[in-house]
Structure 1
Amino acid sequence: MDFQKQSTTWNWNTRFTTASTDSGGWQWQLQENANSNLLIQSGGQKKWKDENRLTGYFYRAYLPFTLGLYTKSWLQNDRQVSGNNQVANHAAGLFSRFNKKRGQVSVYAGYQQSQNRNRVDWGWDVGLQAGVSDLRFSDYKARLNWESNYDFYAQRQNYENSFLGGVFSKFSQFSGDSLRFTFSEMSKQYYVGDSIEQVKMYNRNWQNILYYNLSQRDLFRVRTRIESKDITYFNGRNVFLFENYLQYLHLGTRFSYTLNLRTSDQTLDNAGLETDSRARQTTLSGDFNYNFQPDRNIQLRLSYVKLQYDTPDSVVNNDDRDEQRYLISLIYRHRLSPLLLMEWEAYTYLFHQMYIFRQQSANNNWNRVYKISPRFVYQYGRVTNRIKTEVLANYTVYDFDELLNQARSFVFRKYTFSDSLRIRVFGENSVGGFARLELEDKGTFFQKEFAQQVLQSYRSEFYNIFISNAGFIHFKINFGYNIYKRREWRHVPRKRLARDIVNQGPYFSVKYLDTRRLILSASVSLSNLKDSAGQTTTYSTGYIRLQYRI
């Protein structure tokens, strides 16, 4: 059971599961999930959204058969959208299951009621599931599964069918091959006003994975996937995807790396519409890890992605473009002493978007993100101190900015410093604090002069002090105080303070761990918000979570 309160919303989530413990005679299972959400609007109006889902089984085993009753119930009432928006489905009936070591068959049949606002339908609820596993054909093992669900109403019919087939073979201790095929189809009919609309979806997926263990340290893997989707709603839509993936993995004593190559070709066809498209993508990536010594390590990640997006009609749709992405991430870790750990991270992301047709060429741009972040962790006895700082620069530059009347290129810069301290005073009692400073600015960027016109700047501060105890009976208790400050400036035509925000208040959280059966946690915080752009307000947030196993 969960309860959570925000400034304008209240959420209740309840999950209940129980089952009989006696393996002989009649047995039963019951599961219920209930969710409620309350939204209080600015005028004080209360808007509710409730959802409840219940499933139950009452059965008895006559090996290898199982016979019994089932019930399913789902109800949703959403008054946040409209005053009358209730949908529901309730069903009850008989089911039977046949189990063997390598396969099973399940069937069910019942009667159900479906409600969509003011419309109520009665009809049959039937289904079938059959599966076999560990079928052997020479050196191959196979798995098959089929599932069907049908709804028969007087005015509507719904159905879902799915099939899964898989074959696996291990040629030797170094190589293997697997083939998997799935097919699913779905048809749903529902009311729109006084008419009935229908949606049909078909999904076909074929996947082959081949791997070779070239040695105890080297692995080569090839994956091919073909997927086809058909969607029928007003007009038809067909999606076809062809994907290849190659991976080489080396696990060395000091030096390990992974090389990846992925190619994909996806087409989207809309019947009767000129919005067809084709997207071809190639990805090259590598992850490298080198251990200089047990206390020194460096990690490098490289990635290159090229996307080619084409549309057949360049008159109506001129979104044809090429995109290129480059990613470089370098992390260096060094344990300077048993007490001190140092870590440096350097990150670069480059994105280039190039439109093919002149109507969109003004949107050609480069996005460049650079980040460097050192971190230090000091731990001595009962004291743990973590310090981290980060510098980030994000530039977006349009290729033809100098030809336009107004520059559109912009830059965003941010500096962050954080420091946390935790001291274990005695036993499981600790005190500590956390501080974080953020300095940001953004504005127009002039690439030729490599200059910036600052339009907005911000300064954010966050402070936290806390006391925690984890040794009082089975309780874990935290008590603290938060302070958040944010100041915003506008720099055009001159620098002036535009907004000043201060949010502060205490918080309290507790977690109770008695046995494996009971888990109880709760949190509450009181906040006092002062906003120069609005009024001073005081509000509370919190949650309660209870889990009990019978």
Structure 2
Amino acid sequence: MKKKNVLKPFRIFSIIFIIVFINDNLLFAQSSIDNFDYIAISKPINVLSTYLDKRLNTYSLNSGLTVNYDLEDLNFRLFENFNSKFVKSGSKNRRDEQNLLLLGSYKISSQVTSGISADNKILSDDRKIEINQASISNVSLFTLYSPQPGMEFSPFIGYSNNRQIGENDYGLIYGIEGVAEESDISDFNLTSQLKFRNEDIAPRRNLIRYLNLLLNNNFADDVSNTISARFTQNRKDFYYTADQQISGEFNIANNIQSRTETGYSVDDSLRFGKFFDIFTLNSRGNVTWREIDRNTRYKPLIITSNSVYDTKIKELRVEFESVISYRSKFFSGNLRGLIIERDEKNITKNYGNNDFFFEDRSDQESQKNNNSSRASLSFTGDFDISKKDKLSLSFLQNKLRYDTPSEENFDDRDEILSILRLRYSRFLTPFFEAFVSTEGIYSHIVYLLSEKSSNNNINRVLKFAAGGNYTGKNVSSLNTFEVSANYTVYDFEDLNPNYKSFSFRQFTATDSSNIKILKNLSFISYGYLKLSEQGDFQWSSFSAQPTRFLEEIYAEPKITFKLNGILLASGIRYFSLKAFNYKVRERIPDSKYISVGPLMEIFFLIKEVLYFRIFGWYEFITIDDTAKQEQSNFMMQMNWNF
């Protein structure tokens, strides 16, 4: 009897799967599913959140509200999110987005729940872009049916009003959602999800198809295999302003374009917990196929250019990854290998009988065809030399090959990237840790065809850092000093004067300190100094001619006071950036930017229920000792779990 029960969800999903696939007329929506509209995978948390930010001339506001209320067999849910951005510049711009969902349901029995849902989405943008005004209003009836624990289906039907750039479309919305969690089939554990949604808002149609199957098999305590298969097919129809020819031939103001994205993905993961008794092995293989199809509703009767043709993109991606891990008392490390193969084809869809423009567009699209392969090998390891000493080592070796079949595309290239990092740390005392580190990066880009070979270059980066971290009862401080050198050398700069090798050298000193003055009173400071030099570089003689020097200083000292979970802080924010040019070896001042002003912060957290923070500063800005400005910046964030 048990096997019969657990096989039912598999049969149901199989039937629905077949129904979806045999309907050749179904086209689908744009973005893959990330949630369900009617089935709640987890119980919503009641929360009110607000984030307000003002930086320079940009104001941003994000507010959200989630309410979930149960009254015996009744359930009420509200979801609201509002985003607004205002840019105050020469031409003021404002963009608003609002999503509102109201949902009410009544539990008829232990297996059946019925309800009604209403949602509204609004987009408003005062810029002159293709879609700057849009709204969607939906009302639907739904039923939740749970034949057994862990399994739930929700058929729904409703009515939609969809508006874009002055066009109002009405029609039915209908479909089904489904979830089956951890159903036992033979030796496998099955988890599956389904979403089928139609929006018949003639003359447009928006559709979503989604099916995800996850099979897990634990052969033994340390051996498991997970297989997943996913199908997505989504369609989105949208209006755009019709050109003069289309408007005259069909007597319309707006044309319609459909974007259909179809994807298949199969993934297999295998884990051995005791590989050769001392290792852990995780291997994964993935095959993904994707197609993006664009269709224009109204096309010109007389073809006068190659821009009227629709296109299609097909992509195939194959990936294999394996990670071997080792853990012991003295050493822990991971060795990871990755291979990715990818192929992309761009296809022009023909219509009419104008071969000249069709061939011309086909040639343009075929130039975008490409295939690439990437192989990567990386290692990370930590050596616990003693209780006080630790050595960390990591490296990455990556090779990319990018090919374009078209003879008119010259982007064929090979890229090599090598990164090596080494860090040694030692606790000189129980309170102070000293560390030194070094990092080397080598990258080489080689374009295979002469048309772009002037871009061939080698980039070398070398970094050295040292510092210390002190943690005491009343004082803590982290200090880091780093020098870095970046050299980019072009292979054929002697033949092309437009490409010159260059160097970038930098010294950085960073300090972050906290001094506890009294029980509730502290002094906190953060700051850094950056000295940077740019210049022309000759690798053969390893000599540089400096062309520009930058001095950047930042300091943020403040006094903080804490009482019963409330933090009050006040201080000063200072930032300066000075730029110099060179006349031979002499520095010539070029520009100076100085910003200084008070800052303030208020923060409190009450029993993980209410989080509130205000942080802001006022700037007195001086540019080149002449131009003076004043500007405020602030950020407010609140989360209330009620």
TM-score grouping bracket, smaller chain normalisation:
over 0.9
C-alpha displacement at 1:119, in angstroms? Answer: 0.7
Alignment TM-score, normalising by the size of structure 2: 0.82
- Residue from 45, 48, 53 that aligns with 2:99: 53
Q: Does 1:310 align with 2:403?
A: yes
Listed as ranges, the matches of 1:382-421 within 5 Å are: 382-405=474-497, 408-421=500-513
The residue type equivalent to 1:56 in the other structure is L
- Residue from 218, 222, 231 that aligns with 2:279: 218
Listed as ranges, the matches of 1:84-95 within 5 Å are: 85-95=132-142
The residue type equivalent to 2:86 in the other structure is L
Mean CA deviation greater in 493-502 or 32-41:
493-502
The residue type equivalent to 1:310 in the other structure is D
Separation in structure 2 between the aligned mates of residue 177 and residue 515 of structure 1, nearest angstrom:
42
2:454 aligns to what SS in structure 1? helix
Separation in structure 2 between the aligned mates of residue 6 and residue 498 of structure 1, nearest angstrom:
26
Separation in structure 1 between the aligned mates of residue 282 and residue 389 of structure 2, nearest angstrom:
30
Listed as ranges, the matches of 1:397-476 within 5 Å are: 397-405=489-497, 408-471=500-563, 473-476=564-567
The residue type equivalent to 1:229 in the other structure is R
Separation in structure 2 between the aligned mates of residue 439 and residue 41 of structure 1, nearest angstrom:
32
Separation in structure 2 between the aligned mates of residue 417 and residue 58 of structure 1, nearest angstrom:
58
Listed as ranges, the matches of 1:208-247 within 5 Å are: 208-214=268-274, 217-233=278-294, 234-247=310-323
Separation in structure 2 between the aligned mates of residue 406 and residue 167 of structure 1, nearest angstrom:
57
The residue aligned with 1:290 is: 383
The residue type equivalent to 2:640 in the other structure is Y
Separation in structure 2 between the aligned mates of residue 208 and residue 486 of structure 1, nearest angstrom:
52
C-alpha displacement at 1:238, in angstroms? Answer: 0.5
Alignment TM-score, normalising by the size of structure 1: 0.95
The residue aligned with 2:460 is: 368
Note the residue ranges of structure 1 that are not aligned, 5 or more in a row. Answer: none
Mean CA deviation greater in 526-535 or 296-305:
526-535
The Cα RMSD (Å) is 1.8
Separation in structure 2 between the aligned mates of residue 478 and residue 395 of structure 1, nearest angstrom:
43
The residue aligned with 1:141 is: 189
Q: Does 1:197 align with 2:257?
A: yes
The residue aligned with 1:188 is: 236
C-alpha displacement at 1:474, in angstroms? Answer: 3.4
Mean CA deviation greater in 163-172 or 507-516:
507-516
* CA deviation profile, 1:225-277 (whole Å, cap 9, x unmatched): 00000111221111001111111111111111111111111001111322211
The residue type equivalent to 1:50 in the other structure is D
* CA deviation profile, 1:303-338 (whole Å, cap 9, x unmatched): 100111111123x10111111110101111111111
The residue aligned with 1:13 is: 62
Question: Which structure: greater strand fraction?
Answer: 1
Return the structure number with greater relative CO, CA threshold 8 A, min gap 6.
2
The residue aligned with 1:344 is: 436
The residue type equivalent to 2:402 in the other structure is Y
Note the residue ranges of structure 2 that are not aligned, 5 or more in a row. Answer: 1-49, 242-253, 295-309, 348-361
Is this contact kept in 2: 1:308–1:322, CA < 8 A?
Answer: yes
- Residue from 133, 158, 175 that aligns with 1:110: 158
Mean CA deviation greater in 507-516 or 244-253:
507-516
2:345 aligns to what SS in structure 1? strand
Is this contact kept in 2: 1:345–1:372, CA < 8 A?
Answer: yes
Q: Does 1:482 align with 2:573?
A: yes
Separation in structure 2 between the aligned mates of residue 37 and residue 137 of structure 1, nearest angstrom:
51
* CA deviation profile, 1:79-116 (whole Å, cap 9, x unmatched): 14469921110101211101221311111111111010
C-alpha displacement at 1:179, in angstroms? Answer: 0.9
The residue type equivalent to 1:297 in the other structure is K
Mean CA deviation greater in 70-79 or 271-280:
271-280
1:359 aligns to what SS in structure 2? helix
Separation in structure 1 between the aligned mates of residue 555 and residue 174 of structure 2, nearest angstrom:
59
C-alpha displacement at 1:135, in angstroms? Answer: 2.5
Separation in structure 1 between the aligned mates of residue 180 and residue 557 of structure 2, nearest angstrom:
59
Is this contact kept in 2: 1:209–1:221, CA < 8 A?
Answer: yes
2:509 aligns to what SS in structure 1? strand
The residue type equivalent to 1:255 in the other structure is F
Seen in structure 2, the aligned counterparts of structure 1 residues 301 and 516 have a Cα distance that, compared at 3 Å, is closer
- Residue from 116, 125, 129 that aligns with 2:177: 129
Q: Does 1:65 align with 2:141?
A: no
Separation in structure 2 between the aligned mates of residue 427 and residue 328 of structure 1, nearest angstrom:
44
Seen in structure 2, the aligned counterparts of structure 1 residues 435 and 165 have a Cα distance that, compared at 3 Å, is closer
* CA deviation profile, 1:351-376 (whole Å, cap 9, x unmatched): 01111112222211101111111121
Question: Which structure: greater helix fraction?
Answer: 2
- Residue from 240, 251, 257 that aligns with 2:333: 257
Seen in structure 2, the aligned counterparts of structure 1 residues 364 and 107 have a Cα distance that, compared at 3 Å, is same
The residue type equivalent to 2:170 in the other structure is W
Separation in structure 2 between the aligned mates of residue 502 and residue 335 of structure 1, nearest angstrom:
39
The residue type equivalent to 1:133 in the other structure is E
Separation in structure 1 between the aligned mates of residue 441 and residue 267 of structure 2, nearest angstrom:
32
The residue type equivalent to 1:59 in the other structure is S
1:401 aligns to what SS in structure 2? coil
C-alpha displacement at 1:296, in angstroms? Answer: 1.0
The residue aligned with 2:628 is: 536
Seen in structure 2, the aligned counterparts of structure 1 residues 83 and 5 have a Cα distance that, compared at 3 Å, is farther
- Residue from 447, 455, 470 that aligns with 1:355: 447
Is this contact kept in 1: 2:165–2:239, CA < 8 A?
Answer: no
C-alpha displacement at 1:71, in angstroms? Answer: 0.8
1:360 aligns to what SS in structure 2? helix
1:184 aligns to what SS in structure 2? strand
The size of the alignment, in residue pairs, is 545
Separation in structure 1 between the aligned mates of residue 538 and residue 496 of structure 2, nearest angstrom:
13
Is this contact kept in 2: 1:407–1:444, CA < 8 A?
Answer: no
- Residue from 116, 120, 123 that aligns with 1:76: 123
The residue type equivalent to 1:379 in the other structure is T
The residue type equivalent to 1:202 in the other structure is T
Separation in structure 2 between the aligned mates of residue 200 and residue 82 of structure 1, nearest angstrom:
22
Mean CA deviation greater in 3-12 or 250-259:
3-12
Separation in structure 1 between the aligned mates of residue 625 and residue 119 of structure 2, nearest angstrom:
51
* CA deviation profile, 1:20-56 (whole Å, cap 9, x unmatched): 143x1322111111122221113xx543211111011
Separation in structure 2 between the aligned mates of residue 132 and residue 149 of structure 1, nearest angstrom:
18
Separation in structure 1 between the aligned mates of residue 607 and residue 326 of structure 2, nearest angstrom:
44
Separation in structure 2 between the aligned mates of residue 285 and residue 383 of structure 1, nearest angstrom:
38
Separation in structure 2 between the aligned mates of residue 152 and residue 540 of structure 1, nearest angstrom:
49
Separation in structure 2 between the aligned mates of residue 360 and residue 7 of structure 1, nearest angstrom:
40
Seen in structure 2, the aligned counterparts of structure 1 residues 56 and 497 have a Cα distance that, compared at 3 Å, is same
Is this contact kept in 2: 1:371–1:391, CA < 8 A?
Answer: yes
Is this contact kept in 2: 1:420–1:434, CA < 8 A?
Answer: yes
The residue type equivalent to 1:541 in the other structure is N
Is this contact kept in 1: 2:75–2:106, CA < 8 A?
Answer: yes
C-alpha displacement at 1:380, in angstroms? Answer: 3.1
Is this contact kept in 2: 1:499–1:533, CA < 8 A?
Answer: no
Is this contact kept in 1: 2:58–2:86, CA < 8 A?
Answer: yes
